[in-house]
Structure 1
Amino acid sequence: MSEIVLGAMLFGNGIGERESFALLDRFAERGGRWIDTANNYMFWTHPSGFGGQSEEVVGRWLAARSALRDRMRISTKVGAEPTDAALGLASAEGLSARVVRRAADGSRKRLGVDRIDLYWAHIEDRSVPLEETVGAFGELVAQGTVARLGASNHAVWRVERARAVAARLGVAGWTALQLRHSYLRPRPGAALQSTAHRLVTEETLDFVRGNDGLELWAYTALMNGAYARADRLEEAYDHPGTTRRLAALDAVAAETGATRNQIVLAWLLGGDPPVAPILGATTVERLDEAMDARDLTLDDDLRARLDAAA
């Protein structure tokens, strides 16, 4: 899959329901299909200390736009919802079989769907044997309540081991990875503001290339607006490589008439392997700008110049 995904993290909390519906309507109008959320969005800003608000808004939108349900695809996640509001992510629910089953039921109820189209293990839980986690996810697919499975913020070796476990157990395995990825890259070893984020590496890209049918999704693809506003660039990205890459972006923008954001999205969509960027647009205008990137093709020369600016 190589298409833009609408990230719904802010819906119902950072963005009001009316504005969320407007974004969802426009996304569907522009031919978008995939909506990405999670059962813990956004516990860190909600007064309750728990998530679920994003799924609820998406669910109400789906109910109000029932004619679109067959076309739209819903992606959600389990594993990072707090069990104690005071402790937050330190009390994450994890990936035990009990949690996976219960959380899937809760997400389907909030979303108002019979089946989740892509269900992710949100963060790693090394306290639970992989056999238990993989078996529970596979059970959901066998029951028909989940169509496909993915792993978010997981090390490549853990994904490979989990896929081998699934093959041994004879159950569905993870067929998608979701990690942080964009054109700009942080300094090696530099701490990110979001400590739970796991970055795409060259090993990740090689792993996806070497496994047919394995997809790569990228969150924070537009760096929280940093391509348009320098003040939003994290300190970890303050290095000469960023200067060179931004200069390359500007040169390509001048030649193509596209914006920095559009070039970054086109670079991801048409890469090797292709990457599905998750777009966290907050206005219809920004959404339109991003969706227009699907019409931008970077030829071999443009892509080579972007890649060389490391």
Structure 2
Amino acid sequence: MTNLALGAMEYGSRIDEQTSFRLLDAYVDAGGEWIDTANCYAFWQHPSGHGGQSEELLGRWLAQRPGVRDRVKLATKVGCEPLWPGSYPEHAEGLSAKAIDAALETSLRRLCVDHIDLYWAHRDDRATPLEETATTFGKHAAAGTIGRIGLSNYALWRVERFHGVAAGLGVMGRPRCNCGTRTYSRGPSSATTPTTTASAGSPTRSSTTPRPIPSSSSSPTAH
């Protein structure tokens, strides 16, 4: 089941802990490997207006199941956490070095782990230079706190530009950067229809269901 990912978006918020644990156990028992979350999940479900509930639940689940961390791969994301309740999408944490450093430290603490297997930029941040984002991701990859790097909610040309910037800076090469894109088109019915492009060898999960915050893409496909 390496080509599938279990999305934990609403675990710990809309989906209670007992049910979430049961679903996670069944997934791993069936051979599931990838578990996908984000540092902002699920801010729209929580009275605080901030996310973190999904990561915290996964951390409790892992802590109560010694050895399971070695059987799963964790994917989480940075970039969409609201700066204050109700501020998303106009005001979110973004992808500056300061934001990434703080978010990664928090995600590691919540998840009760020392590294994250796949770390996503949750959405493009045009206010932050790609050089800054790429350098910061590269720093953490070199330190071993993150493995693969993913880009979510990026236009394809921005993914290619990121690749070029990263290669030029020497912080990562193409084989290390496992990126993909999801684009959205709105038809007459205003329905959101995502299309996903994944890099070779990437576990993918696709969905045509609109999400309350921007969905994403590729290794496995992020939301």
User: What TM-score range do you get, normalising by the shorter chain?
Assistant: 0.7 to 0.9
Q: Answer whether contact 2:155 2:183 (CA < 8 A) is retained.
A: no
Instruction: Write 1 or 2 for the structure with the bigger share of helix.
Output: 1
Structure 1 stretch displaced more, 163-172 or 30-39? 163-172
1:3–1:110: structure 2 CA closer, same or farther, 3 Å change rule? same
Structure 1 position 177 matched with structure 2 position 180: yes
Residue 11 (structure 1) aligns with = 11
Aligned-pair CA distance for 1:45: 1.5
Matching residue of 1:191:
190
Alpha-carbon shift at residue 3 of structure 1 (Å) = 1.3
Does the Cα contact within 8 Å between 1:44 and 1:50 map onto a contact in 2? yes
Number of the residue aligned with 2:86: 86
The CA deviation at 1:114 is 0.1
Q: Which amino acid aligns with 2:182?
A: L
Runs of 5+ unmatched residues, structure 2:
211-217
Conserved 8 A contact 1:37-1:55: yes
Cα offset, 1:190, TM superposition? 5.8
Amino acid at match of 1:177: G
Partner of 1:200: 195
Distance 1:137 1:36 in 2: 18
Between stretches 45-54 and 89-98, larger displacement belongs to: 89-98
AA in 1 matched with 2:83: T
For 1:54, the aligned partner's letter is S
**Other-structure match for 1:21:** 21
What per-residue deviation string (whole Å, max 9, x for no partner) do you get for residues 243-275 of structure 1?
Answer: xxxxxxxxxxxxxxxxxxxxxxxxxxxxxxx98
Distance 1:146-1:275 versus aligned 2 partners, 3 A rule: closer
SS of the equivalent of 2:77 reads strand
- Structure 1 gaps of 5+ residues are 225-273, 281-310
Alpha-carbon separation, structure 1, partners of 2:181 and 2:155: 11
Q: TM-score, normalised by structure 1?
A: 0.63
Cα distance in 1, alignment partners of residues 12 and 152 from structure 2: 22
% same residue: 47
Give the whole-Å Cα distance in 2 for the aligned partners of 1:41 and 1:110: 12
Looking at structure 2, the residues matched to 147 and 190 of structure 1 have their Cα atoms a distance apart, in angstroms, of 40
Q: Is the 8 A contact 1:159 1:174 kept in 2?
A: no
CA shift in 2, pair 1:44/1:135, >3 Å? same
1:67 aligns with 2:67: yes
Tell me the residue number matched to 2:215: none
Q: Separation in 2 of the partners of 1:44 and 1:178?
A: 24
Matching residue of 1:100: 100
Per-residue deviation at 1:216?
A: 6.6
TM-score w.r.t. length of structure 2 = 0.86
2:136 corresponding residue in structure 1: 136
What SS does the aligned partner of 1:147 have? strand
Q: Which amino acid aligns with 1:12?
A: G
Counterpart residue number, 1:120: 120
Structure number with greater Rg is 1
Q: In the alignment, is the contact (CA less than 8 A) between 1:176 and 1:216 conserved in 2?
A: no
Shift >6 Å, 4+ stretches: none
Q: 1:192 to 1:126 in 2, by over 3 A?
A: farther
Alignment root-mean-square deviation, CA: 2.6
Count matched residues. 213
On the 8 A contact 1:179/1:219 being kept in 2, the answer is: no
Partner of 2:204: 217
Compute the displacement of 1:171 (Å).
Answer: 1.2
> Structure 2 CA distance, aligned partners of 1:48 and 1:33?
31
